[in-house]
């Protein structure tokens, strides 16, 4: 069964690098704000080799174009989410190999402290 999508979502999902879209509603009392959330397949860190300013601009331009032309369903914000970063076993193994667990306050791959001992003076 296919699900119909709003024109805005269909238009944005045609852009290269866009993985998926969805809406979020923010409700405060009787006020509602609708946000278009766009999940992209690339990194949003400008220092990353996988960053693409041109693709971000294309998403912003598509959003602005549809909002100008389509008045029926007001969307007040655009939120772009980058590709989730996944920890690799190589990263964890190399950190452990450098003695990460022996450092004071070192963290495991899950962000929990490994060693609570104070350094001796």
CATH code where residue 64 lies = 3.30.300.30
Three-state secondary-structure class, residue 12: helix
* Residue 44, domain member (yes or no): yes
Res 94 pLDDT > 70: no
**Beta carbons within 10 angstroms of residue 56's beta carbon:** 19
What integer pLDDT is reported at residue 73 of this predicted model?
A: 63
The domain tally of the chain equals 1
Mean pLDDT value of segment 39-58 = 93
* Residue 32, domain member (yes or no): yes
What integer pLDDT is reported at residue 87 of this predicted model?
A: 53
* Residue 73, domain member (yes or no): yes
Per-chain mean pLDDT for the chain: 75
* Residue 48, domain member (yes or no): yes
Q: What is the DSSP string of 51-97?
A: B-HHHHHHHHHHHHHHHHH--SS---EEEEEPPPP---HHHHHHHHH
Q: Tens digits of per-residue pLDDT, 66-89?
A: 888 775 467 889 999 997 766 554
pLDDT category at 103 given cuts 50, 70, 90 is very low
Q: Global pTM?
A: 0.63
Res 38 pLDDT > 70: yes
Of the chain, the end-to-end C-alpha distance in Å amounts to 68
23: containing domain: 7-81
Res 60 pLDDT > 90: yes
Three-state secondary-structure class, residue 101: helix
Q: Is 35 exposed, middle or buried (0-12, 13-18, 19+ CB in 10 A)?
A: middle
């Amino acid at each position: 069964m296919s699900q119909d999508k709003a024109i805005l979502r269909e238009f944005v999902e045609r852009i290269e690098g866009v993985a998926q879209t969805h809406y979020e509603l923010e409700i405060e009392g009787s006020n509602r704000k609708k946000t278009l959330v766009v999940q992209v397949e690339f990194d949003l860190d400008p220092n990353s080799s996988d960053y693409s300013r041109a693709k971000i601009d294309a998403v912003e331009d598509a959003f602005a174009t549809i909002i100008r032309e389509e008045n029926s369903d007001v969307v007040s914000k655009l939120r772009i989410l980058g590709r989730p970063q996944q920890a690799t076993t190589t990263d964890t193994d190399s950190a452990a190999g450098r003695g990460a667990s022996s450092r004071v306050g070192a963290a495991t791959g899950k962000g929990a402290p490994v060693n609570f001992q104070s350094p001796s003076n």
